[in-house]
Amino acid sequence: MENSKILINAKKHVIHLFKTKLPTQVIYHNYNHTLDVVAAANEIAQGENLRDSELELVLLAAWFHDTGFIAGCKGHEDTSKIEAEAFLKKHDFDKEKTKTILGCIEATKMPQNPNNKLEEILCDADLAHLGSKDFIKKSSLLKTEWEVRDCKKIKDSEWLATGISFLENHKYFTDTAFEKFHQQKTKNWLFVKEELKKEKAKEITKKEKSALKASEKKDKIAKADKPEKGVETMFKVTLRNHIKLSDIADTKANILLSVNAIILSIALANLVPKLDKESNHFLIIPTLVFVLTSVASIIGAIISTKPKVTSGKFSRKDIEDKKVNLLFFGNFHKMPLEDFNYGIQKLMNDREYLYGSMTKDLYFLGLVLARKYRLLRITYVVFMIGIIASVLCFVLAFLTIPEEIVTHKLK
């Protein structure tokens, strides 16, 4: 039957079509696929005990069923029927038989819907590869063809999922096809399911790696946005020096307080009680200068160390406007923890705000230090001048003691 004249001419015609008109990117629905379908149709037809006249019709339909791909994928069955009808008309083929052949080609449209035995045979032959051992290889060719045709990359997991769904919903119409291909089709289905599991595991691993890389990249960006180490060191050293200087100033003030407290104690205990005697009146002015010097020094030392605390309140608008320095306790000691936490989070995530706050903190700490040292310098000058003045006053007082007072003391 395969050697009948019409079949030989059909084979030559299809070879010529595929050779001269089929696009290169059609790597599955080509001449090799057509040969496989013709062979499968012949095998199934013989198993179904078709008459030679019917077998000829099925084989003619098999030769032409995918010739429509020369004009594109969309509606290729209709183009295939046109090609088949033109060929058969040229060879004066019987019109009723031509209709049967065209019906077989029409039945291969997805989803398949054959109406008679011949159409069932061609439909089973067209999808015989589902139950073949080289199913994976052919499926890969079909995937590549779709990707080239649609200019779109298809994910392996999507393709495998589509293949599983297709295999699950497909059924062979003829008993011969079922007996010959069903068992291998089941094996192919199980294999594809396992491949899908592996592919999903790969995708999960790939996503985890991508997420890790994205996280690392985000961390790098975050680190890049944070203050540089050199800048951090500069602020750290400068602030430490300011704090040391403040501590030194407080120590100096404490020395002044201690010394003058001792001086006052001695003066009040030993000098002042003796001033009520008429013979000691010459000591009043030196003692007064001495005591006032100590009092002025104590007052200066206290003022220099007197802390100044601000209102301790700020609003979220102050934070948004970057007006408040959250690094100084005097600006937040009366605020709720929630508002303070909000401000600190914004400060840590805003490089400009953080730098600005540290700069302000450094600046105002410098102003406090300048005030302390200015007051201490004045206090030390007052103390020094006062002590000198007191000594001079005592010397002058003793040098100008009236003679009668000296004589009285000698007696």
In this predicted model, what pLDDT tens digit does every residue of 178-223 receive, in sequence order?
A: 999 999 999 999 999 999 999 888 888 888 888 888 877 776 666 6
Q: What are the angstrom distances between the C-alpha of 115 and each of 109, 121, 173, 308?
A: 13, 11, 11, 99
Read off the DSSP letter of residue 112: P
Mean pLDDT of 308-314: 62
* 207 and 234 assigned to the same domain: no
* 167 and 240 assigned to the same domain: no
Q: How far apart are CA 408 and CA 99, in angstroms?
A: 161
Rounded to the nearest 5 percent, the helix, strand and coil shares of the chain are 80, 0, 20
Residue 315 has pLDDT above 70, yes or no: no
CATH code for the domain in which residue 132 is found = 1.10.1300.10
Fill in the amino acid letter for 76: H
Average pLDDT taken over every residue of the chain: 83
Find the largest Cα–Cα distance for the chain. Answer: 171
Mean pLDDT of 363-371: 81
Q: Beta-carbon neighbour count of residue 16 at 10 Å?
A: 10
Higher pLDDT, 330 or 385: 385
Residue 227 has pLDDT above 60, yes or no: no
* 100 and 193 assigned to the same domain: yes
In a domain, 219, yes or no: no
Nearest to 342, CA basis, from 326, 359, 358, 360 = 326
* 249 and 203 assigned to the same domain: no
In a domain, 302, yes or no: yes
* 27 and 142 assigned to the same domain: yes
* 249 and 106 assigned to the same domain: no
Asked if 149 and 95 touch (Cβ cutoff 8 Å), the reply is no
Q: What are the angstrom distances between the C-alpha of 242 and each of 253, 301, 308, 363?
A: 16, 19, 17, 10
Residue 230: enclosing H or E segment and its boundaries?
helix 229-266
Domain that holds residue 201: 5-211
* 13 and 106 assigned to the same domain: yes
Top-confidence range, 119-133, 204-218, 395-409: 119-133
* 118 and 154 assigned to the same domain: yes
Domain count, the chain: 2
Q: pLDDT per residue over 251-302, tens digit each?
A: 888 888 888 888 878 777 776 666 656 555 666 777 788 788 888 888 888 8
* 161 and 306 assigned to the same domain: no
Domain boundary among 157, 176, 211: 211
* 303 and 403 assigned to the same domain: yes
* 22 and 160 assigned to the same domain: yes
Residue 228 has pLDDT above 70, yes or no: no
Mean pLDDT of 308-319: 64
Residue 410 has pLDDT above 50, yes or no: no
Higher pLDDT, 290 or 411: 290
In a domain, 184, yes or no: yes
Q: What are the angstrom distances between the C-alpha of 80 and each of 92, 116, 153?
A: 18, 20, 28
Read off the DSSP letter of residue 24: T
**What's the confidence (pLDDT) of residue 409?**
46
Q: How far apart are CA 78 and CA 72, in angstroms?
A: 11
The DSSP code sequence of 291-316 is HHHHHHHHHHHHHHH----------H
In a domain, 325, yes or no: yes
**What's the confidence (pLDDT) of residue 384?**
87
In a domain, 82, yes or no: yes
| 316 CB-side CA count, 13 A | 7
In a domain, 178, yes or no: yes
* 249 and 134 assigned to the same domain: no
Q: What is the pTM of this model?
A: 0.54
If pLDDT is split at 50, 70 and 90, which confidence band does 56 have? Answer: very high
In a domain, 216, yes or no: no
Percent of the chain with pLDDT over 70: 84
Nearest to 287, CA basis, from 267, 269, 263 = 267
Read off the DSSP letter of residue 140: H
Percent of the chain with pLDDT over 90: 41
Read off the DSSP letter of residue 31: H
In a domain, 155, yes or no: yes
